[in-house]
């Protein structure tokens, strides 16, 4: 891990574990992107930078260097208006109404370690020896504007992080209209772009497209990262597969409006970018003020999409997720939502918890409906006090009843929302996001609290903290069930209204930092109608996320497979729910529901008291199995074997870091008559070791499992599955 500066050649060479990233400062002071890929030694890297004269419609930037055009320069942080016609990384409106800037190299510094980003989640180090950070300062002499480009490389991970800090060192107020976290130019466009897109209960499906000239991008304008798009894109070189080929992934550590994509120019060069969505964004930058962009995490792998994913997984588990539960296995839970919805009392909850305790489940989670007058979803959000009609002896009594069963207790909140029918709204109708004179659009019969306001932040911190302090609660599900409309704040002046969405995120992050720091022994899980805010920003505060409100085992194959492209399995909540499934009506076996849910943070979301004796026995086996393999599932290396997007069969596996254990899940969706015989290969094992299959005396060579594989299991009936456990023979 080094950052080297060759002053004679004006080259910065950043080297992480297996990756190099090279920047060249041109003679005229522009930072040019030279290389990102497999680690190289750095011999004559300047030869990778070539200036070639182009057609007359590509203007020359310097009269004495006619071949230099910003329209063809592989620029590290491009602006618009000064001869680069491609997608800019930043744009500032000046007092005279123009948006032309000319940022040129001023200075640099190399820092041991990694500075935190003020007010924003970001990856971190535990020792300054783990990483180095390069800060390149660019200046616009006319306005006094400065931009500090920050790059961090890590010794033990193939990750490079980037962000930008825009500083107004001039005398005039500036309007920041665009501020991406990263932008870089590839010399060619021979890539496929992969994105994770979908909808509520159909999140993070994999979509690929071959790059073509023009703009191909994704974005969210919903006030959150959203169910529809995820703040991640990857570029796959020609011929790349799950296991082979160069793959370049970028992920934004941010939970609000974003954009990401690629622009292919007239010369078939590809510009990759990610950052805050400039749509409806403006930030007033007073003299002396600065604006910090969120962090972009960049991962390159020469070992295909799977290699990129495992690099993200290792990095995020160790240096994004924080706190007590970062390195701990997570408890098996039961959630009462689909068992009772709003219709419960203390006795019913205790009955479900007792049934869970008998099955070996470790944590009971009380979902929506325990507060205010919350008998349905039309009321009481914001009124965070116990509903004494349902729980006459209070929350403390219910928690103690569950704890006496030797189970932990968890609680659902939706702190960012407010119901028009609530005591809080009657007292503070101006506390929601709204535009004066406009109707207040409701979704799920609720409005959104204005998290840009400090009084709202203080209320949330106090009301949630009071509940968490009132009883021995060890788990919190933090939900958020609608997207933003009428994005305005009663406290911001007119010229700052378009700052509201980003100020909301800064306020939310401040609240999460305070609450999670005050209650370090509570396991927090984020949720937004399931996976509507499954992003790296939330994982910084909460180590796991409810993957989707759709708990159907067949639907979950694509949802969990797609999520694993960038996010570690330890961050995914996965539950067994009732059949017919409440989202799609499908009937699947308890075995298959369990086998799919085992590939995540395992739990149940149904009425455990309704199980037959046969079902209880099967659930006990599932719970015991998960306790045996959860260290693999949550912290092992994850390998995708067969894709649900490519066929009828799905398979994936988990391998311990020392390659001594493996857990494999195989699912077949629809059965065919008289099917052909087939085999599927395992991955990640040591070819020189032998492995014993659990429950049998059969021993397989690691090389046999890797290169010849296992016979595809034959099933009778749809939605069938099988799991395999292997342990190395010593």
Residues designated catalytic:
479, 549
Short-list 506, 396, 415, 523, CA closest to 461: 415
Which run of H or of E encompasses 423? Answer: helix 423-427
Taking each helix axis as running N to C, give the angle between helix 613-635 and helix 346-359, from 0 to 180 degrees, rounded to the nearest 10.
70
Under 8 Å between Cβ of 477 and 411: yes
Alpha helices (H) in 453-581, listed in sequence order: 454-470, 500-518, 536-539, 553-563
Q: What is d(CA 174, CA 399) in angstroms, rounded to the nearest whole number?
A: 54
Under 8 Å between Cβ of 597 and 633: no
Under 8 Å between Cβ of 414 and 369: no
Short-list 258, 251, 162, CA closest to 218: 258
Angle among Cα 86, 92, 95 to the nearest 5 degrees reads 135
The number of helices, as runs of H, and strands, as runs of E, in the chain is 12, 38
- Reading the block at residue 465, the tokens are 């903290």
Strand partners, 2: 15
Beta strand residue intervals within 498-634, DSSP E = 523-526, 544-546, 572-577, 601-605
| 571-591 per-residue burial string, b: 16 or more CB within 10 A, e: under 16 | bbbbbbbbbebbbeeeebbbb
Q: Please enumerate in sequence order all residues whose Cβ is within 8 A of that of 235, keeping only pairs 6 or more positions apart, or say none.
A: 186, 191, 192, 193, 194, 211, 247, 248, 249, 262, 270, 272
- Reading the block at residue 728, the tokens are 């190395």
């Amino acid at each position: 891990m080094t950052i080297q500066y060759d002053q004679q050649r004006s080259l910065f060479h950043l080297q992480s574990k297996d990756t190099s990233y090279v920047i060249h400062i041109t003679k005229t002071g522009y930072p040019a992107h030279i290389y990102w890929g497999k680690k190289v030694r750095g011999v004559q890297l300047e030869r990778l930078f070539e200036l070639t004269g182009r057609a007359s419609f590509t203007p020359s930037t310097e009269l004495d260097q006619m071949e230099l055009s910003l329209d063809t320069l592989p620029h590290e942080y491009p602006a618009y208006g000064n001869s680069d016609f491609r997608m800019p990384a930043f744009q500032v409106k000046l007092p005279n109404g123009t948006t032309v800037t000319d940022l040129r190299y001023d200075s640099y510094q190399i820092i041991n370690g990694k500075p935190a980003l003020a007010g924003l989640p970001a990856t971190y180090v535990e020792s300054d020896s783990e990483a180095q950070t390069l800060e390149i300062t660019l200046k616009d002499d006319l306005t006094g504007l400065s931009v500090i480009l920050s790059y961090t490389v890590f010794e033990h991970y193939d990750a490079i992080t980037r962000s930008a800090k825009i500083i107004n060192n001039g005398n005039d107020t500036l309007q920041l209209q665009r501020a991406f976290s990263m932008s870089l130019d590839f010399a060619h466009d021979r890539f496929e772009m992969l994105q994770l897109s979908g909808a509520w209960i159909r999140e993070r499906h994999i979509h690929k497209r071959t790059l073509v000239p023009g703009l191909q991008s994704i974005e969210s304008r919903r006030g959150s990262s959203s169910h529809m798009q995820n703040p991640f894109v990857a570029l796959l070189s020609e011929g790349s597969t799950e296991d082979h080929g160069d793959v370049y992934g970028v992920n934004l550590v941010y939970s609000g409006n974003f954009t990401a994509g690629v622009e292919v120019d007239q010369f078939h060069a590809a510009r990759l970018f990610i950052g805050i969505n400039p749509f409806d964004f403006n930030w007033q930058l007073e003299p002396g003020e600065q604006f910090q962009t969120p962090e972009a995490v960049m991962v390159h792998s020469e070992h295909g999409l799977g290699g990129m994913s495992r690099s993200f997984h290792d990095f995020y588990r160790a240096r994004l997720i924080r706190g007590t539960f970062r390195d701990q296995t997570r408890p098996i839970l039961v959630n009462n939502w689909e068992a009772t919805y709003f219709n419960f009392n203390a006795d019913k909850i205790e009955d479900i918890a007792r049934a869970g305790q008998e099955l070996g489940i470790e944590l009971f989670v009380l979902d929506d409906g325990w507060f205010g007058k919350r008998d349905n979803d039309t009321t009481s959000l914001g009124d965070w006090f116990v509903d004494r009609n349902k729980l006459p002896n209070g929350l403390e009594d219910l928690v103690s009843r569950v704890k006496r069963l030797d189970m932990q207790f968890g609680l659902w909140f939706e702190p960012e929302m407010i119901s028009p029918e609530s005591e809080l709204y009657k007292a503070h109708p101006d506390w929601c996001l709204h535009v004066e004179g406009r109707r207040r659009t409701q979704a799920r019969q609720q409005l959104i609290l204005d998290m840009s306001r400090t009084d709202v932040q203080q209320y949330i911190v106090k009301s949630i903290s009071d509940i968490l302090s009132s009883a021995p609660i060890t788990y919190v599900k933090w939900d958020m069930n609608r997207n933003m409309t009428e994005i305005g704040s009663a406290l911001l002046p007119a010229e700052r209204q378009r700052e509201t969405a980003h100020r909301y995120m800064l306020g939310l992050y401040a609240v999460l930092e305070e609450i999670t720091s005050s209650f370090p022994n509570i396991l927090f899980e984020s949720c937004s109608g399931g996976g509507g805010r499954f992003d790296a920003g939330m994982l910084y505060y909460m180590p796991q996320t409810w993957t989707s409100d759709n708990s159907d085992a067949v639907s979950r194959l694509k949802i969990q497979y797609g999520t694993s492209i960038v996010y570690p399995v330890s961050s995914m909540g996965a539950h067994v729910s009732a059949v017919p499934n409440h989202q799609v009506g499908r009937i699947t076996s308890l075995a298959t529901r369990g086998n799919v849910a085992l590939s995540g943070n395992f739990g149940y979301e149904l009425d455990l008291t309704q199980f037959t004796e046969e079902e209880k026995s099967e659930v006990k086996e599932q719970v015991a199995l998960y306790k045996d393999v959860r260290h693999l599932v949550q912290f092992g290396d994850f390998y995708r074997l067969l894709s649900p997007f490519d066929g009828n069969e799905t398979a994936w596996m988990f391998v311990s870091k020392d390659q001594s254990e493996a857990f494999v899940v195989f699912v077949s969706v629809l059965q065919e008559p008289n099917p052909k015989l087939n085999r599927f290969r395992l991955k990640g094992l040591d070819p020189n070791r032998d492995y014993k299959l659990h429950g049998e005396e059969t021993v397989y060579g690691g090389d046999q499992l890797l290169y010849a594989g296992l016979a595809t299991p034959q099933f009778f009936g749809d939605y069938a599955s099988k799991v395999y456990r292997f342990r190395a023979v010593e």
